[in-house]
Amino acid sequence: MLNPQQQAAVEKTDQPLLVLAGAGCGKTRVITEKMAYLVNLDLCEPQRLFAITFTNKAAKEMKQRAMSMVAGGEALNISTFHALGLRLMQQEISHTSFMRGFSILDATECQKVIQELLPRGIKKELANQLQWQISGWKNKGWRPDQVDTTVPMAAEIYQHYLDYMLSINAMDFDDLILQPLWLLNNQPEVLHRWRQHIGYLMVDEYQDTNTSQYQLVRQLMGQGSHLTCVGDDDQSIYGWRGAQIENLSLLQKDFPTLAVVKLEQNYRSSSTILNAANAVIKHNPHPFEKKIWSDLGQGELIHLTPYRSAEEEAEQVITDIMFQRKVHHKNYQDYAILYRSNHQAKLMEQALRVNNVPYQMSGGRSFFDYAEIKDLMAYIRLLSNPKDNAAFLRVINTPKRGIGMQTVKHISQLAKQQNMGFLAVCNQPEKLSALPAQAQLRIKEFVRIIKHHQQLSRSAEQVVASLVREIDYLNWVNLSANNKMAKINKSKLVKDFLKWVEAIGGKEHLAMEDLLNYLSLQTSQDDEEAGDAVRLMTLHAAKGLEFEHVYLIGVEEGILPHANSMADADDENEAIEEERRLMYVGITRAMRQLKISYVKKRKRKFQPEGTEDVFGPSRFLDEIPEELLAGKRQNAPTEAEQKANNKKNFAALKAMLDS
């Protein structure tokens, strides 16, 4: 059932291959079919076949598909880049300066580390800037002596940061790519072992790779031919976090025998939608030309609607969803509202709630951002890595034990003097003799709890459950809640976490280190089913998804393209090109119907009351041919016209609901 281009991509196994897969052109199917082809024809053993993608969800879905097609599919190595890096570091830990059980710190904890390394009096904003800069250097694979910066002390702080993280046996997420890369560069025997182990490597969403990720792929492959990279240069929208679209050209340079297969037949959208997408994206330069097409028919014209205000835009979009759903007997989940920035969702949410329309917002607060989950994660980290000072500081007085800041400060000073971890200092009572007797007793009890659970000969999920019971964490959460609803929500978070940990352990009964590694790589729980609800999400969050009906809102100059992105960019042309790719992503999410809107005047965030900016339609709208649009580009209707339209729409909806 593959088309000729898909079949060619599957069967090309004797040279490096780049598969340029347009939006909705079946790239995931090609990857899984190729896995089956390689294994079923004995071209690669399952345990030697590696596939890398960018999200846990994508890796999970890919593995489920592949396992249904491949004998012994459970042995396939399908993971994110970070999970592969973690696995490599675990297996080769003896060749590094780290120890087993290392912690992975989140962005907030890393920022605190950088702040501690800066001289007193330095503003927090500089710590933020340095954190972003260090992340950028790591994404490029640079060591402190390779960086080029005009920021005073930046390279020195970078070196201190690396040294401190090593001293507490911890890494950040960038290290999960950088440290394996440095290891392979410096340890020829390790590099040889991994090249021998990988029989075939497939890279999904290749256009999103940064320099370090590309170098890791190149190191693992050498000049080998058993490599397939799948991606779409027109959907490269993560330049702000280090993605290098130039990696497409680098692949051709570093693998001279590279073959290129283009997947251009789209199985998602109508021809009208695809023609609009092609018309917009053709204004960007392309290392490889392609044009997506569909045989699903012309479909509806694209609706382009101007509004006088953001409030009217929200009101009319939600009214239209309700009306269309009723007329066409659709489900709410068939509709999606897409926008460039999160702040645009507020008015849409309000309108949805007023009209009792169910919705789910993607890209909101992560499960792992809640204080209760951070507390429990910190306990797990400390049990696995006693040198984790950040985890120690979070849990030493959580729940409240009467261990004050002066006591913690004393422990910190002793640790620095003795070049020891905080927990190690507490484990030697004689070093704490200067503290009040009551404080010494409380620290002793804390150490006892940690030691006891480190020594329990049980599975990780049982240890965690025991710890939560012993510290009476659930009761403390209830007591610390401000109101009844907060108590319910906080308790549910803790219970959900414990259930989740138990489910992760399953029948395998993971060791604490394995549980820590798994949890550290999660950015959110597995997405729960939204049910029958309208989806709200940013264009970045929408990539990879599809909906029958899409409302692309706020398509205005200053929003899409975004003014900040252009102002902050070193190269304005590159910024415009990435913003245009975001527009392309938004258009190609629609399967049957696309409605685009813009507002003539919009109030900016933090703008004084009574003032508005005139943005006007985005330049990208001028790139869509007139014949693809229902209605001409026009100024927003007058206030009288808009009121008449509102009245007419509400009357029609009321009549429909009453019928």
Q: Which sequence positions are flagged as catalytic?
A: 27-28, 204-205, 235, 589
User: Is 28 marked as a binding-site residue?
Assistant: yes
User: Is 610 marked as a binding-site residue?
Assistant: no
Give buried/exposed letters for 312-328 (b at 16+ CB in 10 A, else e).
bbbbbbbbbbbbbbeee
Identify the three-state secondary structure at position 501: helix
Integer-rounded Cα Rg, in Å, for the chain is 27
Nearest to 328 by CA among 535, 628, 549: 549
Q: How many whole angstroms separate alpha carbon 618 and alpha carbon 304?
A: 12
β-pairing, 590-599 with 547-552?
parallel
β-pairing, 103-104 with 259-263?
unpaired
Identify the three-state secondary structure at position 609: coil
Q: Is 43 exposed, middle or buried (0-12, 13-18, 19+ CB in 10 A)?
A: middle
Q: Is 607 exposed, middle or buried (0-12, 13-18, 19+ CB in 10 A)?
A: exposed
Q: How many whole angstroms separate alpha carbon 651 and alpha carbon 659?
A: 12
Q: DSSP string of 147-186?
A: ----STTHHHHHHHHHHHHHHTTEE-TTHHHHHHHHHHHH
Cis peptide before 561 (omega within 30 of 0): yes
User: Is 26 marked as a binding-site residue?
Assistant: yes
Whether residue 276 contacts residue 623, with contact meaning beta carbons closer than 8 Å, is answered with no
Q: Whose structure tokens read 């001279």?
A: 256
Backbone angles phi, psi at 601, to 5 degrees: -130, 135
E strand or H helix at 295 = none
For 33, 299, 449, the CA distances from 368, given in Å and listed in that order, are 34, 42, 24
Nearest to 464 by CA among 489, 501, 430, 495: 501
Identify the three-state secondary structure at position 306: strand
Nearest to 595 by CA among 299, 232, 266: 299
User: Is 44 marked as a binding-site residue?
Assistant: no
Q: How many whole angstroms separate alpha carbon 520 and alpha carbon 103?
A: 8
Q: DSSP string of 547-597?
A: EEEEEE---BTBBTTBHHHHHH-SSHHHHHHHHHHHHHHHHTTEEEEEEEE
Identify the three-state secondary structure at position 230: strand
β-pairing, 170-171 with 534-538?
unpaired
User: Is 141 marked as a binding-site residue?
Assistant: no
Tokens of 564: 């900040």
User: Is 72 marked as a binding-site residue?
Assistant: no
Whether residue 72 contacts residue 46, with contact meaning beta carbons closer than 8 Å, is answered with yes
User: Is 544 marked as a binding-site residue?
Assistant: no
Q: How many whole angstroms separate alpha carbon 615 and alpha carbon 600?
A: 6
User: Is 554 marked as a binding-site residue?
Assistant: no
Q: How many whole angstroms separate alpha carbon 380 and alpha carbon 463?
A: 9
Q: DSSP string of 247-282?
A: HHHHHHHHSTT-EEEEE-B-SSS-HHHHHHHHHHHT
Identify the three-state secondary structure at position 246: coil
Annotated binding residues for ATP, written as ranges, equal: 21-28
Annotated binding residues, written as ranges, equal: 21-28
